[in-house]
């Protein structure tokens, strides 16, 4: 996609929003909030019954938004695991992005996606417009920088979208590593491996400046910032792995 088109989306996101995205970004009624709370409780209990979930670093989450959560992505269970690891008070002000084909697959999936604030997108370009709109209205965003699930569980190369987003929205970025999700549901698996240990480690927030973005960033600056964020998440992975080493 051309640099000019990305620039257009970032500068005038409202022109690139679909009607459905506009509708789903509107404030929610109380009944919708209550339904979201019920789904959160159900997911919180289910994840802890199926997996052995532990969460570290919740105190690193900013007290208020907007901010971006950037987890690795190695399993279809990453969203419900992350949803069970983040406090309800934070999730109430947080949106996700999901592939349109999945989000709108059937009426039930469409309803659940709407209740849990999953915005339908087609690709990274179509994700940028609602992402900017979400952050501009003061809400938080969950963004998977890899763009797709890892096949082997290793952290993949990050796409430039998160870097481009930060050139427009200078908000804190919170790196997150989800450990064990790939083992719990590897590619080709039909059912999760019950009681698999899952650890969610939340890192310290980063700013656009600390990632290397300048007031007038170049393409090289964006690429460097994206790679720096990837290293931050890899460092969280290393710390989790070192914690799991059993010393004689």
Q: Give tens-digit pLDDT for 190-240.
A: 889 999 999 999 999 999 999 999 888 899 999 999 999 999 999 999 998
- What's the confidence (pLDDT) of residue 216? 87
User: Tens digit of pLDDT for each residue in 26-64?
Assistant: 999 999 999 999 999 999 999 999 999 999 999 999 999
Q: What are the backbone dihedrals phi and psi of residue 122, each rounded to the nearest 5 degrees, phi first?
A: -100, -35
Per-residue confidence at 187, pLDDT binned at 50, 70, 90?
Answer: confident
Fold category of 3-58+66-189+196-243 in CATH: Glycerol-3-phosphate (1)-acyltransferase (3.40.1130)
CA 185/CA 74 separation, integer angstroms:
9
Q: Report the chain's mean pLDDT, rounded to a whole number.
A: 92
The pLDDT assigned to 244 comes to 65
CA gap 53, 179 in Å, rounded? 10
Look at residue 124 in the predicted model and tell me its pLDDT. Answer: 78
Asked if the model's pLDDT at residue 242 lies above 80, the reply is: no
pLDDT at 126: 81
| Per-residue pLDDT reduced to its tens digit, 151-171 | 999 999 999 999 999 999 999
- Helices H, strands E: what count in the chain? 11, 7
CA–CA separation, 74 vs 170, rounded Å?
Answer: 27
Secondary structure class of 195 (helix, strand, coil): coil
Cβ atoms of residues 128 and 6 within 8 Å: yes
Q: Is the pLDDT of residue 246 over 70?
A: no
The answer to whether residues 56 and 201 touch, using CB atoms and an 8 Å cutoff, is yes
In 3-state terms the chain splits into helix, strand, coil percentages (rounded to 5) of 50, 15, 40
Q: What is the mean pLDDT of residues 58-83?
A: 96
| Local confidence band at 248 (pLDDT 50, 70, 90 cut-offs) | very low
Q: Contact 117/190 with Cβ under 8 angstroms?
A: no
What local confidence, expressed as pLDDT, does residue 26 receive? Answer: 93
Mean pLDDT, range 90-114, rounded to an integer:
94
Q: Does 245 score more than 60 pLDDT?
A: no
Please give the model's pTM, rounded to 2 decimal places.
0.93
């Amino acid at each position: 996609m051309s640099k000019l088109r990305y620039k257009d989306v970032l500068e005038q996101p409202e022109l690139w929003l679909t009607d459905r995205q506009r509708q789903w970004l509107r404030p929610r009624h109380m009944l919708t909030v209550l339904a979201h709370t019920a789904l959160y409780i159900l997911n919180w209990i289910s994840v802890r019954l199926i997996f052995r979930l532990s969460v570290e670093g919740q105190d690193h989450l900013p007290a208020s938004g907007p901010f971006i959560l950037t987890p690795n992505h190695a399993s279809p269970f990453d969203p419900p695991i992350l949803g069970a690891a983040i406090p309800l008070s934070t999730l109430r002000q947080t949106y996700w992005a999901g592939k349109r084909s999945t989000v709108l697959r059937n009426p039930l999936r469409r309803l659940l996606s709407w209740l849990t604030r999953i915005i339908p997108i087609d690709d990274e370009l179509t994700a940028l417009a609602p992402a900017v709109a979400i952050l501009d209205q003061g809400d938080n965003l969950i963004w998977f920088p890899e763009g797709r699930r890892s096949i082997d569980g290793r952290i993949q190369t990050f796409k430039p979208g998160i870097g481009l987003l930060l050139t427009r929205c200078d908000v804190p970025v919170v790196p997150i590593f989800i450990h064990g999700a790939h083992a719990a549901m590897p590619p080709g698996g039909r059912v999760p491996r019950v009681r698999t240990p899952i650890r969610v480690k939340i890192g310290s927030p980063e700013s656009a400046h600390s990632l290397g973005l300048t007031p007038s960033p170049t393409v090289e600056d964006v690429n460097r910032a994206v790679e720096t964020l990837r290293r931050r998440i890899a460092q969280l992975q290393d710390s989790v792995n070192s914690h799991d080493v059993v010393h004689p």
